[in-house]
C-alpha cells in the first residue's frame, strides 16, 4: 500500500490578540524539517525544507552543485529506514561515472553564502563550471512580466499558510510547466529544476523561471546550471546576481507586479543600467 505524501502544512492553535480582545485561533503553518543528503553512504549536507518532492529537491540541488550533468548520472533517491531517521535522511544513488571530490565537497555546499569567495571569484567559478548561456531567440518581455502573477494563482500552500516561497517554470508561450512551494526559496527552485531534470528536459533554454522572493547569486547560479534563459522575480535581485546575469547572458528582471517589471540584465538593460518594462500608468 502506497504511503500518504508528507504534510506540507499543519494546524496549530494560536491566540489572536488586539487591544480589545484575545481569542483562540486555528492557524495553518508551513512545515519545516531537516533533510540530510547522503551520497554513496557519506553525508553531503543538510537542508531545511518543506517535506514533499524530495527527489526533485535533491536532483535539482546536485545539478546546481555540478555533480549531475545529464539524466543518466542519476539513478535514484532512497529513504534511510533506520529507526529515528526515516523521512529525515535520504541516500542519493548516482552513476559510477559521476566523480566526487570529497575534499572540495567537505567544505560544505558550494552555494553557501559563507563560502569565503569574493564576488568576482564566485562569478568566475560559476562561469568555469557552466558555459555562457546563448539565447538563440528573443524573450517576450511583456509576457515575462506577467509570469509571477500566473504563478501566484497556483500558490495553494501560500494561500493556506502565508509562509512559503514559490518557483515556477514556464515555456516560451507562457504556459506553466511546474510550480513548487517551500519554506526555502532555494529549495523551491531546486524542486522545479529537479522536476525538469528527472523528466529529461535539461537544458531549459526555452524556459523562464519565476520566483516569489528576491533573486540572490545562488538563484541565478541555479538558473544557469539548468540552462534557463530568463529569471523574473516579484522582488529585487542582489548586485552579485545582476553581475552574474550580465556576464553569463541571463535575462534577469525584478519587481514584476501589475504587468510591469524592472529589467536588470538582458536587452535594453546591460548598457543603460536597468530598464522599466511596461511601467504602470500614473495614478489619477
Distance CA 208, CA 156 (A): 21
C-alpha cell at 39: 551520497
Known catalytic residue at 115: yes
Strand partners, 176: 170
Distance CA 141, CA 208 (A): 11
The residue annotated as part of the active site, out of 80, 115, 118, 207, is 115
Cβ partners under 8 Å of residue 177, min gap 6: 168, 169, 170, 171, 196, 207
N- to C-terminal Cα distance for the chain? 61
Q: Label the pairing between strands 89-94 and 33-39.
A: parallel
Distance CA 206, CA 228 (A): 7
Beta carbons of 263 and 276 less than 8 angstroms apart: yes
- DSSP codes, 163-209: --EEEEEE-TT--EEEEEEESSHHHHHHHHHHHHHHTT--S-TT-EE
| Helix or strand run (H / E) with residue 235 | none
Active site residues: 115
Amino acid at each position: 500500500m502506497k504511503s500518504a505524501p508528507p504534510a506540507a502544512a499543519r494546524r496549530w492553535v494560536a491566540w489572536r490578540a488586539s487591544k480589545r480582545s484575545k481569542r483562540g485561533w486555528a492557524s495553518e503553518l508551513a512545515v519545516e524539517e531537516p533533510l540530510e543528503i547522503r551520497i554513496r553512504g557519506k553525508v553531503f549536507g543538510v537542508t531545511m525544507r518543506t517535506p514533499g518532492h524530495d527527489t526533485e529537491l535533491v536532483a535539482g540541488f546536485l545539478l546546481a552543485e555540478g555533480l549531475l550533468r545529464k539524466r543518466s548520472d542519476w539513478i535514484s533517491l532512497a529513504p534511510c529506514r533506520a529507526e529515528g531517521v526515516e523521512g529525515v535522511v535520504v541516500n542519493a544513488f548516482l552513476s559510477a561515472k559521476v566523480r566526487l571530490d570529497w575534499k572540495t565537497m567537505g567544505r560544505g555546499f558550494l552555494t553557501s553564502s559563507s563560502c569565503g569567495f569574493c564576488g568576482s571569484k564566485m562569478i568566475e567559478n560559476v562561469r568555469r563550471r557552466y558555459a555562457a548561456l546563448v539565447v538563440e531567440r528573443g524573450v517576450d518581455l511583456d509576457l515575462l512580466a506577467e509570469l509571477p502573477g500566473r504563478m501566484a494563482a497556483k500558490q495553494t500552500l501560500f494561500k493556506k499558510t502565508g509562509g512559503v516561497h514559490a518557483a515556477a517554470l514556464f515555456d516560451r508561450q507562457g504556459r506553466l510547466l511546474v510550480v513548487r512551494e517551500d519554506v526555502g526559496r532555494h529549495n523551491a527552485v531546486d524542486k522545479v529544476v529537479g522536476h525538469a531534470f528527472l523528466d529529461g528536459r535539461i537544458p531549459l533554454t526555452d524556459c523562464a523561471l519565476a520566483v516569489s522572493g528576491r533573486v540572490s547569486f545562488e538563484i541565478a547560479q541555479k538558473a544557469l546550471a539548468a540552462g534557463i534563459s530568463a529569471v523574473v522575480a516579484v522582488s529585487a535581485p542582489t548586485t552579485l546576481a545582476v553581475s552574474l546575469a550580465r556576464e553569463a547572458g541571463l535575462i534577469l528582471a525584478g519587481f514584476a507586479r501589475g504587468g510591469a517589471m524592472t529589467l536588470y540584465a538582458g536587452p535594453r538593460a546591460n548598457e543603460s543600467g536597468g530598464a522599466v518594462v511596461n511601467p504602470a500608468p500614473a495614478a489619477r
